[in-house]
């Protein structure tokens, strides 16, 4: 029987993985790292997150304090000596500071703390697989590229945000310092919403599209495409890989790929339809950032009370990503038998429904914490 240790279970991707494992009920022993003062408080935090995924109470009631390991990758010394880790057969490391802001914990958690945790798990005799969850954007793709899986050698100056640089760095360090670790690297592309629950589990990144449509102009062209997947597809892919015998140091994109990516024109049409309003396509303007900056005094009227500086930062960062028009090849994953993802435009109506009561500034908090 597998004993699966999951970090980040109180987050978006980690919560979706736990949802998948609980619903499939395959009898795995789950150990879940939770930041809390004690296991009782950790269980409470975990359940609060999992309730966002509409998991039946009868299923959630099977989780107890015995599933909880209290700890934080910011201070790994406080949990890595826990003897329960010696029973682990599989690790899914989802925990990270995924902020696109300048959170001072990004390096401490995503690199320094993660590496100490990896070194500890590398000493576990029965460890069969360590899945490191990265991000497809850590490879710093070129504009218009269809990216295949590859090792990363990018320098800090090439990265748009500290988050992607931290994820690229930790991959390199794990491979260098723990060459015998049964490592599997997965790199999800842009994760937005849940195919059945919309943004109920998290509004991460979805707010960008509402922001752009309200503004009516942005840095990218309407024909540019974006590689978006729902979080439940990401979780299903990781669980699929958990069951496969795969060579050490393999890398998999979890992505929409060329076939299932969507254009901004399609996104405009789908979101506008869900809002029962005309699409903006005929009046949309592709502009440079200076023109967006010039509109800053209209932000409060467009978006509700907001931090002008933060809104401009968000537009600049996400505009840089949107202009890339990049897709991440997913044939390697699909060839293992993974069902293709739903296209974003096929479930975006659920994202609209679950966010209609919130302003853009309220939605974006999750990505700038």
pLDDT in tens, 156-201: 567 878 888 999 999 999 999 999 999 999 999 999 999 999 999 9
Percentage of the chain beyond pLDDT 70 is 98
Minimum mean pLDDT among 180-189, 232-241, 310-319: which range? 310-319
Predicted pLDDT at 154: 59
Predicted pLDDT at 67: 98
Percentage of the chain beyond pLDDT 90 is 84
Query: When comparing pLDDT for 144 and 115, which is higher?
Result: 115
Predicted pLDDT at 140: 76
Taking residues 88-99, report their average pLDDT. 94
Task: Identify the residue whose tokens are 């699966």.
Answer: 4
Predicted pLDDT at 153: 61
Kindly list the domain boundaries of the chain, sorted by start residue.
3-195+228-258, 206-225+261-326+344-367
Cβ proximity of 39 and 125 under 8 Å: no
**What is the pTM for the complete model shown?**
0.95
Indicate if the pLDDT at residue 33 is higher than 90: yes
Strands 68-70 and 29-34 come out as: parallel
Buried/exposed 267-282: b ≥16 CB within 10 Å, e otherwise: bbbbbbebeeeebbee
Predicted pLDDT at 141: 76
Considering only CA atoms, which of 131, 91, 84, 130 is closest in space to residue 4?
91
Taking residues 35-43, report their average pLDDT. 98
- In DSSP terms, 262 is beta-bridged to 226
What is the CATH code for 3-195+228-258? 3.40.50.720
| First-to-final CA distance of the chain | 38
Indicate if the pLDDT at residue 50 is higher than 70: yes
């Amino acid at each position: 029987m597998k004993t699966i240790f999951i970090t980040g279970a109180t987050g978006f991707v980690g919560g979706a993985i736990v949802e998948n494992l609980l619903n499939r009920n395959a009898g795995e022993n789950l150990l879940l790292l939770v930041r809390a003062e004690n296991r009782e408080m950790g269980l409470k935090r975990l359940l609060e997150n999992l309730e966002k995924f509409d998991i039946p109470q009868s299923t959630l009631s099977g989780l107890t304090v015995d599933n909880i390991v209290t700890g934080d990758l910011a201070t790994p010394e406080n949990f890595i000596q826990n003897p329960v880790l010696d029973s682990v057969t599989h690790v899914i490391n989802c925990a990270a500071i995924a902020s696109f802001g300048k959170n001072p914990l990004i390096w401490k958690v995503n690199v320094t703390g993660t590496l100490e945790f990896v070194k500890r798990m590398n000493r576990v005799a029965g460890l069969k697989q360590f899945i490191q969850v990265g991000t497809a954007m850590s490879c710093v793709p070129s504009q218009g590229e269809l990216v295949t899986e590859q090792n990363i050698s990018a320098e800090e100056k090439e990265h748009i945000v500290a988050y992607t640089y931290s994820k690229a760095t930790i991959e390199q360090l794990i491979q260098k310092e723990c060459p015998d670790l049964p490592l599997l690297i997965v790199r999800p592309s842009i994760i937005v919403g849940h195919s059945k629950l919309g943004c109920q589990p998290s509004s991460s990144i979805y707010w960008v599209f509402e922001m752009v449509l309200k503004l009516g102009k942005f840095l990218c062209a309407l024909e540019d495409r974006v590689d978006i997947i729902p979080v439940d597809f990401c979780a299903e892919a990781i669980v699929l890989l958990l069951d496969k015998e795969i060579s050490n140091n393999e890398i998999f994109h979890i992505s929409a790929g060329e076939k299932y990516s969507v254009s901004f024109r399609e996104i405009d049409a789908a979101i506008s339809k869900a809002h029962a309003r005309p699409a903006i396509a005929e009046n949309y303007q592709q502009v440079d950032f200076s023109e967006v900056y010039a509109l800053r005094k209209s932000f409060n009227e467009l978006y509700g009370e907001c931090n002008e500086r933060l809104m401009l930062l968000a537009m600049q960062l996400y505009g840089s990503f949107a202009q890339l028009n990049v897709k991440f090849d997913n044939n390697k994953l699909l060839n293992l038998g993974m069902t293709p993802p739903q296209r974003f435009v096929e479930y975006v109506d659920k994202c609209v429904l679950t966010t209609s009561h919130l302003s853009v500034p309220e939605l974006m908090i999750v990505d700038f914490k």
